[in-house]
Amino acid sequence: MLPTILLLLSFEACFATTSIPQELHIGFSVSPQSSTASFQPVLGDPSGNFSLGFLRKNHNQLALAVVHVASSEPFWTSSPAPLASWADTTTLFFNGSLVLSDPKTRVSWSTSTNGGERVALLNNSNLQVQNNKETPLWESFHFPGNTLVQNQNFTADMSLVSSNGFYSLRLGEDFMGLYENHGEEQLLYWKHTALEAKAEIKQGEGPIHARVNPEGYLGMYQTSAKPVDVEKFNSFQQPYTTASFLFIRLELDGNLKGYYWDGSKWLLNYQAITETCELPRPCGSYGLCTPGGSGCSCLDNRTRFEPDGDCLGGDEVSGDLCGGVIGGNSKYWVLRRSGVEPPHKELLGHVTTSSLAECEGLCENNCSCWGALYNNGSGFCYVLDYPVQTMVGTGDGSKLGYFKVRKEERGGNRVGVRVGVVGTVLVGIVVIIGVMVWVMRRKGVEEEEGVSPGPYKNLGSASFRSIEMCNKE
Ligand SMILES: *[C@@H]1O[C@H](CO)[C@@H](O)[C@H](O)[C@H]1NC(C)=O
Ligand SMILES: *[C@@H]1O[C@H](CO)[C@@H](O)[C@H](O)[C@H]1NC(C)=O
Ligand SMILES: *[C@@H]1O[C@H](CO)[C@@H](O)[C@H](O)[C@H]1NC(C)=O
Ligand SMILES: *[C@@H]1O[C@H](CO)[C@@H](O)[C@H](O)[C@H]1NC(C)=O
Ligand SMILES: *[C@@H]1O[C@H](CO)[C@@H](O)[C@H](O)[C@H]1NC(C)=O
Ligand SMILES: *[C@@H]1O[C@H](CO)[C@@H](O)[C@H](O)[C@H]1NC(C)=O
Ligand SMILES: CC(=O)N[C@H]1CO[C@H](CO)[C@@H](O)[C@@H]1O
């Protein structure tokens, strides 16, 4: 008897979680369940293809996400807003705004819509907060992350950002471009200018927008329904395409890729960049990428390339070489290499100098410069005002590279090792102090019933970063 009841109860529980509502109304509230492995659906679309719910991240955190149910592929998430904890104190509720609230970490995300009447997920995966008007108050299609699904409009004021935050896709006046984020600066590494074969871009008629067309292309449009550009996918004008579903995603390596659904899995349909060496940093900092199969090596020929590390400097190379050092030169050492040129040089500015020495001089005397590359044939001089990433190898010995390497960051020799050990000990001490302060502050905060959110939050994230650093060591 008892087992039967239990069976019935658990059957009922299963059933309850599989009947997902298609609309959320004022007063709705739900929390993540500890038993959910990776995704807990909250709202479904009419076709059953898509679902809004809690997506588990880093074991015990979550983002709100719209996923493709059959593949669990997220098309939209509430990040880059901070992740909430996967805990029953975290709630998603609808009070006119759709709000994700985690009082424990004080993470809160909201559509900030007053007067919303319902939340609905459309059959194109667009999540909307609606009232009785035709235009929704809020829609996820206006806030893309790294993914753009078919028919989703991508406008000039949006950007698609890779989930590591390094790369972005944006529209210009008559082109779309992929950019590498260097602090404030954005370095263009791929540019596709509208061909204007079917329609022309007209001055003064507003910015262009882009959209994945279900017929199998990424189109750029201005005012007309005719595209000003058609970037074709493999599935272009294939009979299976219109019955399928397409999306593009800015991937972790900086490539823009397109996919289509064949009914059981996603197939690669498009790649903006097909040559590995044309990716923004295929071989890491101070790496050298040689087209035609020989792959990655290091600019410094005394250093061996390791696939999971950088040749020199590591990931932490940033900022500039300015300030604070007597004599100017002492902050860095110089590495020279022949047979190298900058990647995407057609997108880089250059100056023409009459000699290699003059080109190097432009960099040597400027502390915000990290390197200079000279073409002895054309006299073109490329000055790099950002930390040195992967260069491209050419067989041509008249192409010369001059690179500054920050001194403390030179690894692999005895000085480097000693600096590393001292660094580790220092990091350890900082972490211990950090944790002590954090625990003390946390106690304080708990006693005050959380009156001062600032220091608690900041300390929390700082010590979290330190712990991450230790794990890496
Ligand atoms: C909905 O909840 C949020 C978060 O608690 C709050 O800031 C907002 O004022 C509420 N809106 C309404 C209409 O009650
Ligand atoms: C999606 O919804 C729209 C409008 O609600 C409808 O016209 C269309 O046929 C639907 N598409 C699918 C694939 O269900
Ligand atoms: C995208 O833009 C086109 C043209 O402006 C419009 O007709 C269409 O409804 C928009 N699509 C969505 C999903 O908003
Ligand atoms: C490394 O580069 C230096 C300077 O370009 C050159 O003199 C040396 O022969 C190279 N060593 C090897 C092993 O290729
Ligand atoms: C140094 O380089 C930066 C970046 O390339 C440039 O903006 C600046 O004008 C240069 N300064 C001098 C003194 O040449
Ligand atoms: C650069 O060009 C000059 C003049 O053409 C030539 O004398 C010199 O050897 C070249 N240097 C290199 C490194 O190719
Ligand atoms: C993209 C996707 O998953 N589409 C599916 C939506 O649902 C219909 C009916 O079940 C499927 O045939 C599609 O493949």
- Say how many residues make up the chain: 473
Last residue within a domain, chosen from 357, 375, 406: 406
pLDDT in tens, 289-324: 999 877 899 999 898 898 877 788 655 566 777 775
Does 24 lie in the same domain as 157? no
Does 365 lie in the same domain as 452? no
% of the chain exceeding 70 in pLDDT: 78
Report the atom number in ligand 3 closest to the C-alpha of 141.
Answer: 13
Mean per-residue pLDDT, 419-438: 45
Let me know if residue 200 belongs to a domain.
yes
Rounded distance from Cα 124 to ligand 1 centre (Å): 28
Does 200 lie in the same domain as 218? yes
pLDDT in tens, 6-45: 333 333 333 334 589 999 999 999 999 999 999 999 999 9
Q: Cα-atom radius of gyration of the chain, to the nearest Å? A: 26
Let me know if residue 246 belongs to a domain.
yes
Give the pLDDT score at 414: 34
Ligand (nearest to CA of 363) = 5
Last residue within a domain, chosen from 143, 172, 205: 143
Rounded distance from Cα 200 to ligand 3 centre (Å): 19
Ligand (nearest to CA of 382) = 5
Does 139 lie in the same domain as 6? yes
Let me know if residue 175 belongs to a domain.
yes
Mean per-residue pLDDT, 209-235: 93
Could you tell me the two tokens for 177?
């471009």
Res 441 pLDDT > 60 = no
Give the pLDDT score at 266: 96
Does 187 lie in the same domain as 118? no
Mean per-residue pLDDT, 384-389: 91
Does 151 lie in the same domain as 138? no
Cβ-proximal residues to 251 (8 Å cutoff; 6+ apart), any chain: 146, 162, 257
- Please give the Cα distance from 387 to 403 (Å, whole number): 9
Res 416 pLDDT > 70 = no
Mutation test of ligand 1: which of 24, 29, 93, 99 has the most ligand atoms closer than 8 Å to its C-beta? 99
Ligand (nearest to CA of 337) = 4
- Between residues 317 and 471, which one has the greater pLDDT? 317
Cβ atoms within 10 Å, residue 167: 29
Res 235 pLDDT > 70 = yes
Does 342 lie in the same domain as 258? no
| E strand or H helix that includes residue 439 | helix 414-447
Give the pLDDT score at 409: 43
- Please give the Cα distance from 309 to 178 (Å, whole number): 24
Mean per-residue pLDDT, 383-400: 93
Ligand 2 contacts (CB < 6 A) are 47, 123
Mutation test of ligand 6: which of 354, 375, 376, 399 has the most ligand atoms closer than 8 Å to its C-beta? 376
* Mean pLDDT score of the chain: 82
Mean per-residue pLDDT, 200-224: 92
- Between residues 156 and 447, which one has the greater pLDDT? 156
Give the pLDDT score at 307: 80
Res 326 pLDDT > 60 = no
- Which residue has a Cα nearest atom 12 of ligand 2? 123
Give the pLDDT score at 447: 32
Does 247 lie in the same domain as 337? no
The domain of 96 spans: 1-143
Q: Using an 8 Å Cβ cutoff, are 100 and 112 in contact?
A: no
pLDDT in tens, 172-199: 999 999 999 887 788 999 999 999 988 8
Does 200 lie in the same domain as 70? no
Mean per-residue pLDDT, 258-278: 94
Give the pLDDT score at 276: 92
Confidence band for 397, pLDDT divided at 50, 70 and 90 = very high
Give the pLDDT score at 450: 29
Rounded distance from Cα 358 to ligand 5 centre (Å): 15
Q: Does the CB atom of residue 368 touch ligand 5 within 6 A? A: yes
3-class DSSP string for 93-161: EECCCEEEEECCCCEEEECCCCCCCEEEECCCCCEEEECCCCCCCEEHHHCCCCEEECCCCECCCCCEE
Let me know if residue 416 belongs to a domain.
no
Confidence band for 5, pLDDT divided at 50, 70 and 90 = very low
% of the chain exceeding 90 in pLDDT: 62
- Between residues 204 and 269, which one has the greater pLDDT? 269
Does 368 lie in the same domain as 232? no
Give the pLDDT score at 205: 87
**The total number of structural domains that make up the chain:** 4
Rounded distance from Cα 62 to ligand 7 centre (Å): 26
- Which residue has a Cα nearest atom 12 of ligand 7? 263
State how far the alpha carbon of 274 is from the alpha carbons of 169, 248, 257, 278, 308, in Å. 17, 15, 10, 8, 22
- Please give the Cα distance from 149 to 71 (Å, whole number): 15
Cβ-proximal residues to 311 (8 Å cutoff; 6+ apart), any chain: 283, 284, 285, 286, 287, 288, 298, 299, 300, 303, 305
Let me know if residue 451 belongs to a domain.
yes
Q: What b/e readout covers 124-154, taking b as 16+ CB neighbours within 10 angstroms?
A: bbbbbbbeeeeebbbbbbeebbbbbbbebeb
Res 459 pLDDT > 60 = no
pLDDT in tens, 45-58: 999 999 999 999 99
- Between residues 219 and 327, which one has the greater pLDDT? 219
Helix and strand tally (H, E) in the chain? Answer: 4, 33
Give the pLDDT score at 327: 54
CATH of the domain at 202: 2.90.10.10
Instruction: Classify the C-alpha dihedral 266-246-234-179 as positive or negative.
Output: negative
Give the pLDDT score at 415: 37
Mean per-residue pLDDT, 376-404: 94
Mutation test of ligand 2: which of 45, 49, 122, 123 has the most ligand atoms closer than 8 Å to its C-beta? 123
Let me know if residue 420 belongs to a domain.
no
Does 399 lie in the same domain as 290? yes
Last residue within a domain, chosen from 274, 301, 326: 274
Cβ-proximal residues to 180 (8 Å cutoff; 6+ apart), any chain: 166, 167, 186, 187, 189, 254, 280, 281, 389
Does 90 lie in the same domain as 46? yes
Instruction: Classify the C-alpha dihedral 392-398-404-408 as positive or negative.
Output: positive
Residue with tokens 């998603």: 92
